[in-house]
Chains A and B, each alone.
Chain A
């Protein structure tokens, strides 16, 4: 039996790995098979992570997190957790690769998954003009006309990044102000290839087998318009990834894992949660890392008490 199993491999999961490994708890970190490293694997330049004054690439930062966790003995498994039973004193974790693990504590750092628009044809056109990953797919839109949907930092970053390839980028947002940080907004607004379309949402996706455009709806007067596009990048936020545990641990009204006060303690003893899966507000790499540290320390204290 393990002392600690960590589920997730973003800044929260790896930081929990670093701390529990240094505490001699020999953690197993189940990182996922194809999404190891989490959201930052899909970003380019990270400029706000303290300690890196000239910035670095998201994947580079995550490789460093992983190396630091492994240096102290965190065992990283590239597999997906498909089922857990966290209700007893012995926690059971099963993976898609067919392994079953037992542990005294589990740290949930499963992060958040991108949100869909919820429109007909969205799935069918995904990968055929509709994308959630500018860094993966921007390359295919050289000299094309595309749109980014959203108003947060990731929408600004994607729009700016995509101007390296596209000839024109519409940045479509349903309100008349962005919630992105000032520096990111200013960059987007100053970029000559970006045209901001305020107070507008996507009403319909057009195209057979391949996206050809969208119908937009004005959120103020309800008027609709057709916009011909080669690509549509969706950056309308993320939802906490709780499907593994939603019937076992208590969630908040917004469907985040509920934790006690400033701690990482969930409604189940020996089960801790950290990172974006508990955070409806801040959702930064640095806050997730801090939260992973909290979970590691809480797990360490819990283990000392049950011994």
Chain B
């Protein structure tokens, strides 16, 4: 399952109002490490999609969202729960480390 793209227009419905925790992957085409993390997130989404929703924000297309959430480095992964950022992960990490960082949401 490939992660859905969200925009400023859909952020409220898809992320802030979600009943489930939502991991937002802030990424860009020109970011090499982002391209490496993306298939790992797709795998985590396939394996744990019922507990954690994974979506993407393209920072080139949605600079306002990136700015609003203080993104200065990508890939940046932020987990939202009840409309708030509850976890922030910066930089590309291998799958076992990401799984460990996200353990409270996927176990």
Contact = CB atoms under 8 A, between A and B. Distances in A.
Contacts of B96: 96-97
Nearest to B37: A34
A300 interface: no
Given A33-B40, A41-B32, A128 B94 contact: no
A256 to B, nearest CB: 25
Interface residues of A, number: 27
B73 A35 contact: no
Count chain B CB atoms within 10 A of each CB in A33, A35, A131 and give the residue with the most: A33
A59 interface: yes
Given A42-B32, A126-B90, A137 B73 contact: yes
Contact of B93 (A34, A41, A133, A136): A34
B72 A136 contact: no
A231 interface: yes
Contacts, number: 71
Nearest to B60: A139
Interface string B65-95: 0100011111010000000000000111111
B27 to A, nearest CB: 10
B59 interface: yes
A36 B38 CA distance: 13
B72 A140 contact: yes
A75 interface: no
B100 to A, nearest CB: 11
Given A33-B95, A34-B94, A80-B94, A210 B32 contact: no
A241 B33 CA distance: 19
B72 A137 contact: yes
Given A36-B36, A41-B32, A128 B70 contact: yes
Nearest to B40: A33
B102 interface: no
A139 B59 contact: yes
A292 interface: no
Contacts of B74: 136-137
Nearest to B39: A78
A141 B72 contact: yes
A126 B96 CA distance: 21
A42 B32 CA distance: 7
Given A34-B40, A97-B95, A139-B28, A129 B33 contact: no
A126 B34 CA distance: 16
B32 A59 contact: yes
Nearest to A33: B94
B1 interface: no
A150 interface: no
Interface in A140-170: 140-141
Contact of A37 (B30, B32, B70, B94): B32
23 contacts: A34-B37, A34-B40, A35-B33, A36-B36, A41-B33, A78-B36, A96-B94, A97-B96, A126-B90, A127-B90, A128-B70, A128-B73, A129-B72, A133-B73, A135-B30, A135-B31, A136-B32, A136-B33, A140-B66, A140-B71, A140-B72, A140-B73, A210-B70
Interface of A: 32-37, 41-42, 59, 78, 80, 96-97, 126-129, 131, 133, 135-137, 139-141, 210, 231
6 shortest A-B CB distances, which residue pairs?
A127-B90, A34-B92, A127-B73, A41-B32, A34-B36, A33-B94
Given A135-B31, A140-B66, 6 more contacts: A41-B32, A96-B94, A126-B73, A136-B32, A136-B74, A141-B72
